[in-house]
């Protein structure tokens, strides 16, 4: 079983993060790892949270799945359209979780892999990398449906991706788009939601990620400079994202 968080507190609901990336040294040192970054965004007192390191092949066994109320699928350095064994195993688990109507919240790679598990298509973004603070636009129907959350029509978020959802799964709905990306958020029923951006990221995490991508020659200097400028100029609406993600994951919509 994955590592725990919050056990021993009042018995409450149980959630798990399926971690699809390795922690960077920076995130480990400053934030205690990506798992803690997610729990600080989504966790509440009385809940129990576990982490499964999916990229290492660690997934909840079938007999444990029913014990959880919801799952968060994280970002990754891998491609959601890839065929590594751990990705195939994750897809199989996600299909099971969808059939059990578990609350599933996918972020970046998680958004793309959920789309794939449901029959959608993913691949390299047609407009290339999107890194920095990007303003996305929820649809009128989304704003209306979730009126109790008071979601603004302009919703800045931290982005860091070069892949995207090309084609929605059957019966899924686009909830938001941006200038670069046609499917920023999608929903499938009331139990699956994918978000292309990173509601859990802080600006410092992104700044260090930009430097790492530059060192690995995955982006050019001009990309890095533009991304850093957008981070300095813009502010992600962390509170709005926190409300939306928590309300969805905890079936309060």
- List the catalytic residues: 108, 198, 200
Match 């891998």 to its residue by tokens. 78
CA dist., res. 47 & res. 79, Å (int): 31
> Which residues face 122 on adjacent strands?
165
7 Cβ partners below 8 Å, 6+ apart? 48
The β-bridge partners of 158 are 133
């Amino acid at each position: 079983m994955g590592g725990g968080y919050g056990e021993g507190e009042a018995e409450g609901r149980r959630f798990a993060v399926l971690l699809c990336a390795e922690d960077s040294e920076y995130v480990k040192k400053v934030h205690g790892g990506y798992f803690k970054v997610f729990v600080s965004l989504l966790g509440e007192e009385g809940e129990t949270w576990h982490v499964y390191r999916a990229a290492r092949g660690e997934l909840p066994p079938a007999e444990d799945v029913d014990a959880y109320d919801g799952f968060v699928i994280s970002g990754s350095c891998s491609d959601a359209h890839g065929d590594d064994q751990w990705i195939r195993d994750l897809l199989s688990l996600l299909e099971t979780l969808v059939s059990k109507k578990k609350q599933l919240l996918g972020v970046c790679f998680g958004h793309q892999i959920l789309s794939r598990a449901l029959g959608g298509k993913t691949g390299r973004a047609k407009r290339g990398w999107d890194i920095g603070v990007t303003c996305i636009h929820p649809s009128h129907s989304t704003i209306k449906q979730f009126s109790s959350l008071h979601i603004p029509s302009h919703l800045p978020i931290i982005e860091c991706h070069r892949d995207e959802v090309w084609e929605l799964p059957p019966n899924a709905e686009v909830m938001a788009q941006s200038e670069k990306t046609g499917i920023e958020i999608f929903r499938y029923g009331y139990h699956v939601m994918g978000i292309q951006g990173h509601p859990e990221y802080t600006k410092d995490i992104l700044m260090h990620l930009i430097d790492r991508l530059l060192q690995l020659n995955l982006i050019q200097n001009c990309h890095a400079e533009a991304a850093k400028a957008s981070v300095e100029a813009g502010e992600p609406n962390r509170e709005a994202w926190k409300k939306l993600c928590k309300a969805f994951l905890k079936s309060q919509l």
